[in-house]
Structure 1
Amino acid sequence: MDNTTAAPPPTPSAQPNSQLSSSAAAADALSRLLHRLPPTLSLPTRRSKPSTSFPPISLSDPNLQDLLFSASSQLGYFQLTNHNIPSQLATSAELESVSLLDLPKDKKESYFPKNWPLGFEGDEYGNGESFWLDAECSTVSTELVLSSLRQLTRALEKVGLEVIEMLSNGVGFENPLAEDPTRNCTLLWLHGALDGNDGLSGGSYPYIVGLQYQIRCQKYSLLSDSGWVTVLPQVDSIMVTVGEIAQVWSNGRLKKVRGRPVACLGDCENSSCISMSLFVTLPSESTVSPLLPKVITDGVNAEEDEIGEDEEQDNIDSVSKTGRRLFRSFSFEDYAWRVYHEPLLFKDPLDKYRI
């Protein structure tokens, strides 16, 4: 017979006290958890893209023509300093641009009716609204005051024509615009977008050179022949981009920038960005073709000289010097329509006309 004495059962009165103590501790822990402040969350600091070398060129430099040709043949863009366009004019023109963008939509459409490529472009994709204006900033309205915009347009156009003349001399062909001013057409593009949504709305348009006055410190993205680059022009400088028409005229000796400069994400000082870009381009009825130097074209049958489609890009300069064409002639109107309506990020539209 087992004489081991069993342990007495727990005292009944002790069990409720233990349960109450555990419940109180759990309640305290839950209370502390519920009243604990959530951790402070913050987004990582946005890392800005490094700026690409952006050569400043003084309009008073004695070697101006050589500097322009060097920058255009190597990069396709540059900035001009020591020009005679006052900053007050650019600021006043920007204020007039803001007044246009602040108009009710029905007035924008009635004052600037669509007549491609001119007219008002609505905000179809959330990237902002834009205007395409001619050199006189023409409008059917008699109420709008656009005197500063007109003055800035004429001043930038004058600089653009001077650049085209010097680039023509640098490449070695006669400037097609020198003898007949009606051979060029000037377009002013105004665009307003919320910060970070500048995008590529409002279409693009082929041009010889594009110019934009740099009112404030702001980075831009450019789609160059070597891909997207980020540049930071000096305040009060004029940003100049070489367009596809100049590249064809030069038979490939000049680099180009496709489309217009795009304000970088988050780089605008205010909640909205205003862009004013001027394009020296061609009338719609024009034909675009390489303009080979006279010393080369004499006695050369350009139609018989062709370059295989697999020709390396590095050989462009040497090929152009032999007088052989790198591009077929094409209708400017057809090309402009295609560039305006196709996304800029796809294949270079000039590839279709390369020989």
Structure 2
Amino acid sequence: MSLNVDVEELVTEMEEVPTFAPSIPVPNVQEIVRNNPLQVPQRYVRSNEELEKVNHMPHLSSEVPVIDLALLSCGNKDELLKLDVACKEWGFFQIVNHGVKKELVQKMKDAAAEFFELPIEEKKKYAMESNDIQGYGQAYVVSEEQILDWSDALMLVTCPTRYRKLRLWPKTPEGFMDVIEAYTSEVRRVSKEIQSSLSEIMETQKHVFLGLHKESLEGFRVNYYPPCNTPEQVLGLSPHSDTSTITLLMQDDDINGLEIRHKGGWVPVTPISDALVVNVGDVIQILTNGRYKSVEHRAVTNKNKKRISYALFVCPEDDAEVEPLDHMIDAQNPKLYQKVRYGDYLRQSMKRKMEGKTHIDVAMLEHSDTRNGNN
């Protein structure tokens, strides 16, 4: 169904749409590369310590769990056990047989590629505003001295619909808005099936878990990573964990870029054709009192190819109160996290630069050890 843009934009302007966090405007990385492919400004160059090159563990890539959603949704016990192990030991897994049509996936990829190839003047029509993260640009930039990521992004709130700033949804290429709507709607369906299985392995009643997401807050982020002349000196995206409940990511089929922290090192998540990468967010870590952990991840770049990825962040509603579930707390597992209003937690984390898992400290009780939150 086509979006009625004029009417919705008018309604949006009349209502007060909440904002999330400001971000300092920074140069467009794609334009830096267009103007001089050999140039890597000093503001993007990382120290060897930040890059942690010695901790690269590609030999573990084949061990990242792969889960069949068709089996999971049928309540298959083996697949539920795989999900439990994936959430405990990895915090990441790939989902196959999810039912998102290949034609829709291809339309999403084609439209996004076309958008990023537009002249910068056209893309700037959708630039992030000074007080928020919706639109085209780069978020989480909080200081002029900050080392920047080698990427640009288009970030849109997709749910609830009244939170959308439709003036920042690109009208070019033609039909892009409708493709975003169709694609995120399908991935939302997948997320609900995964959440249902999560509530089962977390041994909580579905209405409790799904009640936090009655009116999910969802954000869609399309990341564009241009080639870099010295990829060994930069990061496409700084190490961080997601503040979401879960995140569902589509990668390009033929280019590695996503890396996750596992056993003290960085493991590339090699793309599987037609799979979605799913990761546990901070909300699940808090609900399970640390039984399942959100895991640091980052993106690297390469010298010859651009890379685009597509992430849907599924979060509780703004006013939801998140704290460890009662049955996750006992004498051996004392309560680690205090009750937090989700909207406050999200905005506090967005006002900081992406820096591993430091943002989850605001939810921790004073007596708990922050190391419990890290993988």
Q: TM exceeds 0.5? A: yes
Q: Tell me which protein shows more helix as a share of its residues.
A: 2
Q: Given the two structures, how large is their TM-score scaled by the length of structure 1?
A: 0.68
> Superposition RMSD on alpha carbons, in Å?
3.3
1:152 maps to 183
| Structure-to-structure mapping, 1:1-355, within 5 angstroms | 49-52=57-60, 53-61=63-71, 62-63=76-77, 64-111=79-126, 113-114=128-129, 116-122=132-138, 125=148, 127-135=150-158, 139-140=166-167, 144-146=174-176, 147-175=178-206, 176=208, 178-179=210-211, 181-195=213-227, 196=231, 199-200=236-237, 206-219=243-256, 220-223=258-261, 226=264, 228-258=266-296, 262-266=298-302, 271-293=305-327, 318-319=332-333, 324-346=334-356, 348-355=358-365
Q: In the TM superposition, what is the alpha-carbon distance from 1:178 to its structure 2 partner?
A: 2.7
- 2-structure distance, mates of 1:350, 1:194: 30
- 2-structure distance, mates of 1:131, 1:290: 33
Q: In the TM superposition, what is the alpha-carbon distance from 1:112 to its structure 2 partner?
A: 5.5
- 2-structure distance, mates of 1:342, 1:167: 29
Gap runs ≥5 in structure 1: 1-45, 297-301, 308-317
AA in 2 matched with 1:232: T
Identify if the C-alpha distance between structure 1 residues 83 and 236 changes in structure 2 by more than 3 Å, giving closer, same or farther. same
Task: Check conservation: 1:247, 1:254, Cα contact below 8 A.
Answer: yes
- 1-structure distance, mates of 2:149, 2:293: 32
Aligned-partner SS, 1:183: coil
Q: Tell me: higher relative CO, structure 1 or 2? Use CA pairs within 8 A at least 6 residues apart.
A: 2
Identify if the C-alpha distance between structure 1 residues 120 and 329 changes in structure 2 by more than 3 Å, giving closer, same or farther. same
AA in 1 matched with 2:349: V
Gap runs ≥5 in structure 2: 1-52, 142-147, 366-375
Q: In the TM superposition, what is the alpha-carbon distance from 1:58 to its structure 2 partner?
A: 1.1
Aligned-partner SS, 1:257: coil
Q: Which structure would you say has the larger Rg? A: 1
1:224-275 CA-to-partner distances (Å, cap 9, x unmatched) read 68553322132211111111111111111112124xx544332x8x631111
Aligned-partner SS, 1:92: helix
2:31 maps to none
Identify if the C-alpha distance between structure 1 residues 177 and 148 changes in structure 2 by more than 3 Å, giving closer, same or farther. farther
Aligned length: 282
Identify if the C-alpha distance between structure 1 residues 282 and 108 changes in structure 2 by more than 3 Å, giving closer, same or farther. farther
